Structure 1
């Protein structure tokens, strides 16, 4: 697989093909989440009481944006990353400021689906963002994989997965997630990039007063510099409101 790095207007991009962006970093703000879909993936912080998560698993490293954000903004969180291509890790370290801290960041070079099936460890947060050079998720978008994610979640765990909302198989992907999580799932309306984020909940329901979503977003913006205020209306529009509470 060809890995390319480009720069434009102060932003450095990671590509697996000439027209497919896998990650981005604003050079003057290397630890911020530059791409809107990555900010949406972190909206899971609105859905559980802090401090959360204690540990996080990321399937797919890319430019390391989520790893860096979690590492710098959630200092008590231990991070495990599974990346199938060792060259991606090298590029992330050389060009995208991936931290070198083996005490908190454990990188596994291997297949994410195999890791999910074979590992018995539980995680509070699982982030799935793995695609090939053609934008295909392959086995990472199958019912057995999502069921394995569900089995690896702690009781308060949440899975956050990046789906390409404009792809032909989007509806089927959403159905697989809902099935694997016994309908404890929420699908975002697409953000500007065309990506759609889906959440799946572990044993504990997500149940947050609608008014508190905005309060949490304000707190996250002031303490972490991550603006999730525009996410709140889309969460509410996702069809999971019960009275004045977001429930799934």
Structure 2
């Protein structure tokens, strides 16, 4: 059944809805390449976790929404190849018409499919997998199962990081984190919830992530200078939550 798609505008911000008040994506019309929602900015913390200046070169995004993450990576990581999986072609059409989704088949490949089915039928690997897929009621369905997370792990490169948007007010939130931890043999970390109620979980495959908070802050300053994205508040919340013992971030 096709999704009921609504586009709304208020105070200079255009939002995407699936037939409810639930915001599925947002774009500030004056700054269409910026990340408007807190949780989308927080998902980009994954960009700080590898020291390779070429990271990431291959990215998989599951769930297109208003294309915020896709556009940010497309603009700021010109060497990256992006695969975007979206189950509803209507969402792709809305992203093109109302949210400035680029049309560049050389760098940006769109796949109309369920994210789990797509992974099941591909042999590709990615440096970064971003999972942000929900229906009108905020349900992730098959995208929040241990089988799906195991498939994500299998499709990550040696530098691979997965970031998943989880709804903090969902009853299944803690169970979701546990499924991710089990799929990644404990190599998962849940960030403190951001103001929107969303919580971002990160998981790693391949090479270990081990870096000091000071180095992460340096990387965040460089990212801010290069892209305008400020992740220093996210790192401050991480530090205050005492998630990084001895000031060391490990994953």
> Residue in 2 aligned with 1:69?
72
Identify the range of structure 1 (233-242 vs 88-97) with the bigger mean alpha-carbon deviation. 233-242
Q: Shift of the alpha carbon at 1:17?
A: 2.3
- 1-structure distance, mates of 2:245, 2:161: 20
Query: Which aligned pairs between 1:1-248 and structure 2 lie closer than 5 A?
Result: 1-49=3-51, 50-237=53-240, 240-248=243-251
Instruction: Note the residue ranges of structure 2 that are not aligned, 5 or more in a row.
Output: none
The answer (yes or no) to whether the contact 1:186–1:238 under 8 Å persists in 2 is: no
What SS class does the counterpart of residue 107 from structure 1 fall into?
strand
Does the Cα contact within 8 Å between 1:177 and 1:185 map onto a contact in 2? yes
Over the residues paired in the alignment, what is the CA RMSD in angstroms?
A: 1.0
Question: What is the alpha-carbon distance in structure 2 between the residues aligned to residue 147 and residue 177 of structure 1?
Answer: 8
TM, length-normalised to structure 1: 0.98
Q: Is the 8 A contact 1:147 1:180 kept in 2?
A: yes
Distance (whole Å) between structure 2 residues aligned to residue 134 and residue 177 of structure 1: 22
* TM-score under structure 2 length normalisation: 0.96
* TM-fit CA distance, 1:119: 1.0
CA distance in 2, matches of 1:244, 1:187: 16
Per-residue deviation, 1:8: 0.2
8 Å CA contact 1:127–1:161 kept in 2: the answer is yes
Q: How many residues align?
A: 248
Other structure's SS at 1:58 match: strand
